[in-house]
Amino acid sequence: MKILSVRIDDDLDEKLSFLMARLKKKDKSSYIRQLLEKTLTEEMLEVLCKQVGEKDISAWKAAEIAGISLRRMMEELKKRNVSGYDEQAMKEDIEYALD
């Protein structure tokens, strides 16, 4: 595991303390890792969905990069109103799946 040192201001520390108390979290480092993982996952899905919408990558490739199933990727695209999935993208996904 790598070490990352981060400085936070008083306001952010108060919010963190508030959440930790309400959620009965004891280990600040562990909780921050959970928050970071959750945020990075959401950010990654946002970027990948945008790329699918712009037809830079296929939904299948985006799912693979995100480490999720194609079904879940399709749900994420729908949730974000991304309509970039057309016949050409489907053909690319099928070709990619067969490789």
In total, how many domains does the chain have? 1
Q: What pTM does this model have?
A: 0.75
**Per-residue model confidence as pLDDT tens digits over 35-60:** 999 999 999 999 999 999 998 988 88
Tally of CA atoms within 13 A in the half-sphere of 16 that contains its CB: 18
pLDDT at residue 83 tops 90: no
pLDDT given for residue 84 in this prediction: 60
**Per-residue model confidence as pLDDT tens digits over 19-30:** 999 999 999 999
Inside any domain, residue 5: no
> Mean pLDDT throughout 53-75?
91
| Nearby residues of 99 by Cβ (< 8 Å), 6 or more positions away | none
Inside any domain, residue 71: yes
Residues in the chain, total:
99
Helix boundaries (H) for the chain: 10-22, 28-53, 59-66, 70-79, 87-98
Sign, CA dihedral 69-73-78-79, equals positive
Inside any domain, residue 4: no
Q: Which range of residues forms the domain containing residue 68? A: 10-98
